[in-house]
Structure 1
Amino acid sequence: MQTVKDVLEALDQLTGGRVVKSLADITSGDHPFVMMKSSNLPGKDIIETPGLVYGHLDQKVSKIAVTMTMTEGSIELAGATGVDAIIAHHPIAEAANSGGVTLKNYLDLYHVAAFELHEAFHGLHPGISYLHGHQAYRTEISYGGNHGNVLFVGKTLENVNTLGDILKRLDQYMGLDQEEALLFTEKEIRGASSITETSLVTKGKIWLGDENSPVRHILHIFPHTGFSPENLRQAVQEHPEADTVLASISRVYDGHPLIETAKELGLNFIVGNCHVLEILENGLPLAYALQSLLPSVEVVIFRERITSTSLNAVGTPEMKRYAQEMASQHLLTKAISNQ
């Protein structure tokens, strides 16, 4: 039987020693992957602490779940399916990732340990560039001196010659035809044609150029990390061979300054996979690596699927009546009385 300590050591091996080993790693300010994330919103700062967030080192582990963001849904699923440890890619915060209650109370209830990696996992494998059809010959995870600001500079793989080739490659690897079939079936079962799903409404799109536009040298960026038009100008100066900007995980929409800057610089601009697909890009390689290092432990993937549905199409007739009664007889009554 493996333990939480064994999982922690496996993660340390996979990241090349990037996990937190002691409290001093957090408090000293010297650990390169212990970092504050803040928008300067009062009380909402978070410190990334790669490795064990909560749990006892001698706790037995027979089943691990790999996920992107730990939620109350993750914790409930873990408790119901015998998962002993959740490994989340994204940082874990008190209450925010545990249904509004303290992590200790919720995780202790089901005897679940929690780990996180995030920045400590970035840059460990070339998979995201590979999936998007290029091989990176330069990788930066703090471009422009900003932690987490990622830039890949790559050359396209064999048989990837146009922007259309990139889109076709992504559709195939991500199995978007399955997502389309699943969504179609859900609409039929629920009788709700308004349902949309993240991976489909955010699938790859060409903003500058067309499917036949040649592509060879790619600047692969991640807009949500703060990559700016100034960063793009700098990257083009450093890599004048670049002909295409590829934005993935997050994306930009028509009129965004990054698109306008790329247009000014004479570059193609294409968006690739959205953030919801990172469970396949990063989560799946991590899960296979853990399975190899901890062969006696069962590894599962917790994958979220987020949909949008018109209000009047959600719920059974009974649930709709319930929600309307709670709103009219309680919530709206209080709102009126407080005016």
Structure 2
Amino acid sequence: MTNVADIVNALSVITGGRTVSSMKEVERGDHPFVILKSSGIHGKSVLEIPGLIYGDPGKAIRKVAVCMTMTELVIELAGATGVDAVVAHHPIADAASCGGVTLKNYLDLYDVAGLECHEAFHGLHPGIPFLHGHKVVKGNIAYGGVHGNIMFVGRALPEVDTLGDILDRLERYMALDQDRALLAEEQLVRGIEAIRETSVETSGFIHLGSRESRVENILHIFPHTGFSADNLRQAVAENPDTDTVVASISRVYAEHELLDVAEELGLNFIVGNCHVMEILENGLPLAYALDELLEDVDVVLFRDRVTSTPVKMVGNSALKTYAREMSARHLLGKNAMSDV
């Protein structure tokens, strides 16, 4: 019978040994992919540990879920569908990953093991550049000496000649027609045309250039990793043939300094897939690899879908009445519940 330790071993194979095999490796303090992430906001740092975060290594496993970010929604779905272990891409943390309570209590409740593999997974495959229309010539997962500041230098694929080709390629590969159809059906069922959904609202677009702008040499960046205007200047100086900047997973909006520098340097600037698509870009290849390595284990993908709805249109009449009365009676300084 496959167990949790087998998942850890599979992640080691997938990452080429970047994971940790025990907490002793973490305690030594010298593992290159055990990384403290902190913005300097008091009490909000998290230690990234590629491997098993919580659970019994000997626990039998019949079903594994791969997700992007563990939340209480993921844990609830795991418990309801017989998932024995969740492999999250992003770091797992008490409260943040489990509905504001301690992780141990929530995972113990449903007997679910938790594993993560973030920076240790980055740079292992060229899928994200491929989806965005280029072949990697060189890459760096710690550009400027900042761990996690990923950058790729690429050459446009033969079938990609223009910025429009990149957008069309993303539309096709990410099956955005399905997301639009799904949103249209939800709007129809709920009778609310104002509903918006992440993957539809955050599809790719062009900041600098046009659909007809030629593309040959690409600098692919990920702004949320801390890639700065100085990084962009340095990268273009190192790769003077660059004609196009692709920003993906995260994006920049009007008046961002990266756009100012790109315009100054005469570069195209295009925004590709946003973070909601990374479950397909990185999560799906990971899930396929686990499915191949773990015999007799069902592997499923947990995909997030976030919508936006005007508050007074949410729910049916009963739910609207409930929300309005709870707000009026208890949240606006009237008839507040006494402490118990």
TM-score bracket for this pair, using the shorter chain length: over 0.9
Q: Over aligned residue pairs, what C-alpha RMSD do you find?
A: 1.3
Structure 1 segments (4+ residues) deviating >3 Å: 334-337
Matches within 5 A, 1:97-246: 97-246=97-246
Identity %: 61
Instruction: State the TM-score, normalizing by the size of structure 2.
Output: 0.98
Render the CA deviation track for 1:154-202: whole Å, top value 9, x for unaligned: 0011110000000000000000011111111100111111111111111
Does 156-165 or 26-35 show the bigger shift? 26-35
Matches within 5 A, 1:67-106: 67-106=67-106
- What is the CA distance between 1:249 and its match in structure 2? 0.2
Take 2:260 and 2:19, find their aligned partners in 1: how far apart are those partners?
A: 39
Q: Work out whether residues 8 and 21 of structure 2, in 8 Å CA contact, stay in contact via their aligned partners in 1.
A: no
- What is the CA distance between 1:316 and its match in structure 2? 1.0
Take 1:18 and 1:55, find their aligned partners in 2: how far apart are those partners?
A: 20
Match of 2:58 in 1: 58
Q: Work out whether residues 330 and 336 of structure 2, in 8 Å CA contact, stay in contact via their aligned partners in 1.
A: no
Match of 2:48 in 1: 48
Does 252-261 or 328-337 show the bigger shift? 328-337
Take 2:138 and 2:18, find their aligned partners in 1: how far apart are those partners?
A: 21
Take 1:294 and 1:336, find their aligned partners in 2: how far apart are those partners?
A: 54
SS of the counterpart of 2:219?
strand
Classify 1:335/1:172 alpha carbon distance in 2 versus 1 (closer, same or farther; 3 Å): farther
Classify 1:59/1:211 alpha carbon distance in 2 versus 1 (closer, same or farther; 3 Å): same
Match of 1:287 in 2: 287
SS of the counterpart of 2:331?
helix
Q: How many residues align?
A: 338
Take 2:335 and 2:304, find their aligned partners in 1: how far apart are those partners?
A: 34
- What is the CA distance between 1:23 and its match in structure 2? 2.1
Take 1:113 and 1:253, find their aligned partners in 2: how far apart are those partners?
A: 39
Matches within 5 A, 1:240-279: 240-279=240-279
SS of the counterpart of 2:210?
coil
Classify 1:172/1:140 alpha carbon distance in 2 versus 1 (closer, same or farther; 3 Å): same
Classify 1:335/1:194 alpha carbon distance in 2 versus 1 (closer, same or farther; 3 Å): farther
- What is the CA distance between 1:297 and its match in structure 2? 0.4
Match of 1:306 in 2: 306
**Amino acid in the other structure paired with 1:261:** V
Stretches of structure 2 that go unaligned for 5 or more consecutive residues are none
Take 1:125 and 1:283, find their aligned partners in 2: how far apart are those partners?
A: 12
Instruction: State the TM-score, normalizing by the size of structure 1.
Output: 0.98
SS of the counterpart of 1:61?
coil
Take 2:24 and 2:336, find their aligned partners in 1: how far apart are those partners?
A: 53
Does 326-335 or 254-263 show the bigger shift? 326-335
Stretches of structure 1 that go unaligned for 5 or more consecutive residues are none
Take 2:80 and 2:236, find their aligned partners in 1: how far apart are those partners?
A: 51
- What is the CA distance between 1:334 and its match in structure 2? 5.3
